Amino acid sequence: MAAVTAGHLLGFGLCSFIHFDKDRKFTVFVICGVIHALSEIVLPLWLNFPFMLTMGLVSGLTNAIFGTLLTSVIQLTTPQDMMGKVFSILDTFMGGFIPIAMAIGGVLAEFISIRVIISSCATIMLACFIGCLFVPAIKQFINSGPTVDSRL
C-alpha cells in the first residue's frame, strides 16, 4: 500500500505542474485508465516483491492522473450553484459502495482466493472502462472546457 500511496503523491505532484492540452486530455485519460486497470490485474497474481512494488507505484500514479483529469473536467463543466450537489452524489457513490464491496469480497473470499477476486474485479473494471470509451459523449465530456454561465 505504501507504493500505491507513493504513486498517488507522484501523480498528484505531476498534475500540479503539467498542463494537458485539450486534444491530448482524452488520450492521457484512456492511457491512465487502461494502465491502472492492467496494473491492478497483475499486481496480486505475481508474488515477486519488487514487481509488486512497481505495479503498486504505477497503479497509484495512473490512478492519480486519471482522477485528477476526471475531477477537473467535472468541476469545469458543472455550474457553480450545482457543484456541491454533484460532488456530494459522486462522493456518495464512491464511498457508499466501499462497505458493500468489502462485504461481498469477504463472502467470496471464503470460496475463492482473494488474489483471484482482486484480479477479477480489476478485469471487470477494465471491461467497463473500455466499454465506456465507445460512447462518443464520454470523449466530448473529457475534452470539454469550462461552460459559460449566461447569468454572470
Report the pLDDT value the prediction gives residue 129, as an integer from 0 to 100.
93
Per-residue pLDDT at 94: 84
> pLDDT (tens digit, 9 = 90+) per residue, 136-146?
898 888 887 65
In whole angstroms, what is the distance from residue 80 CA to residue 6 CA?
Answer: 33
pLDDT of residue 145: 62
Q: Hey, what's the cell of 135?
A: 460512447
* Whole-structure pTM value: 0.83
Query: What 3-state DSSP class applies to 43?
Result: coil
Maximal CA-CA distance, the chain: 58
Burial of 122 (0-12, 13-18, 19+ CB in 10 A): buried
